[in-house]
Amino acid sequence: MHTLKLIVREVRQESPLIRSFRLESADGGVLPAYSPGAHIKVQVPGLHDPRNYSLINTGSEPFGAPAQYRLGVRLEENSQGGSRYMHALKVGEVITAQGPANEFPLADHPGSTVLIAGGIGITPIASMAASLASKGSHYTLHYSGRSRSQLAFVDALRALAGDRLVIHADDDPDSAFHLDALLDAAPAGEHVYVCGPKGLIDAVIAGAKARDWDSRRVHFELFTAAVPQAGDGAFEVDLKQSGKVFTIPADKTILEVLEEAGCDPMYDCKRGECGVCQATVLEGTPDHRDYYLSEAEKAKGNVIQICVSRAKSGRLVLDL
Ligand code: FES
């Protein structure tokens, strides 16, 4: 990955909560190439972890040797600082980032593609639409949000995708998103890419599974980290190697507790997707909440992704 110094050339309010940022190399010249679905990791002053923001491309910029990057960032109500920092940026300021990297690439497959975006999940999905359009590939783009006014980039997407763009707004019953009908009508071999909130991703995964789709046809990227669920309680984690014991409260993950205690666990995505934080379970029953393990691996219960998963038993002993 490259270390990038990027100067903010333009800030636009795209919807009440979403701003876009046009960034150029602070040193001049072209920026590293990227592929649809890629993101950059923006360093936020005062925060330990960088924040990942997908590169949005609605067809106006080449993916190879681009003169600019564009980001779309939603101001999060419970922002830990990342989106607040981004929304405070002014034209002329310089930010530091690493990248680009891509954990949500378009696969090379024949046939058609369904793209599904929920809210700010449109950013990588729009880039996929631009790439598919440039190749003349067949795709449809479903874009959903709480209301029409909260959907950003609609004009650019309409110019890019025309009738292939289908808008769904929760406050407009006529535009309701019928996922089951969409999956029922999917041609054999069609791939689906979904980005947005966990509920949307879980619904697509469950719908594809119920129809016996090969899991390789379903691609997703979650835009939120671990979210507490109703009924979550505290449990104990015993680290076999170090002999340390921690209580994991309902509102924190194992990874967060270990970090706060000064341990140095490995991790990357913090969304249960990459597998980097995996630990071996020596005792206890994990409550798997990740998207990394297969159902069979989850059933074995001998490994856990500590960034999102919890415990069904009162105590877990991990080989850490
Ligand atoms: S850090 Fe990626 S699965 Fe936990």
Report pLDDT digits (tens) over 253-278. 999 999 999 998 999 888 898 899 99
Q: HSE-up of 113 (CA within 13 Å, CB side)? A: 26
What's the pLDDT band for 168 if we cut at 50, 70, 90?
Answer: very high
Q: Say if residue 226's pLDDT is above 90.
A: no
- Phi, psi for 179 (deg, rounded to 5): -60, -40
CATH of residue 140's domain is 3.40.50.80
- Residue-level pLDDT at 80: 74
Residues 216 and 126 in one domain: yes
Alpha helices in the chain (DSSP H): 82-87, 122-135, 154-161, 179-184, 198-210, 254-260, 295-300
What pLDDT digit, counting tens, does each position of 93-109 carry? Answer: 999 999 899 999 999 88
Find the mean pLDDT for residues 30-59.
Answer: 94
Residues 240 and 217 in one domain: no
- Phi, psi for 255 (deg, rounded to 5): -60, -45
Closest approach atom of ligand 1 to CA 269: 2
Q: Say if residue 212's pLDDT is above 80.
A: yes
* Domain ranges, residue 170: 113-222
Q: Is 200 in the pocket of ligand 1 (CB under 6 A)?
A: no
What's the pLDDT band for 228 if we cut at 50, 70, 90?
Answer: confident
Specify the amino acid at residue 193.
Answer: Y
Domain count, the chain: 3
CATH of residue 282's domain is 3.10.20.30
What's the pLDDT band for 17 if we cut at 50, 70, 90?
Answer: very high
Distance 137 CA to ligand 1 centre (A): 32
In sequence order, what are the residues at sequence separation of 6 or more whose Cβ sits closer than 8 angstroms to the Cβ of residue 132? 106, 113, 115, 138, 139
Distance 256 CA to ligand 1 centre (A): 12
Q: Say if residue 79's pLDDT is above 80.
A: no
Closest approach atom of ligand 1 to CA 305: 4
The torsion defined by the Cα of 250, 256, 258 and 261, in degrees rounded to 10, comes to -100
Q: Say if residue 239's pLDDT is above 80.
A: yes
Q: Say if residue 240's pLDDT is above 90.
A: yes
Look up tokens 């960088």; give the residue.
Answer: 50
- Residue-level pLDDT at 273: 87
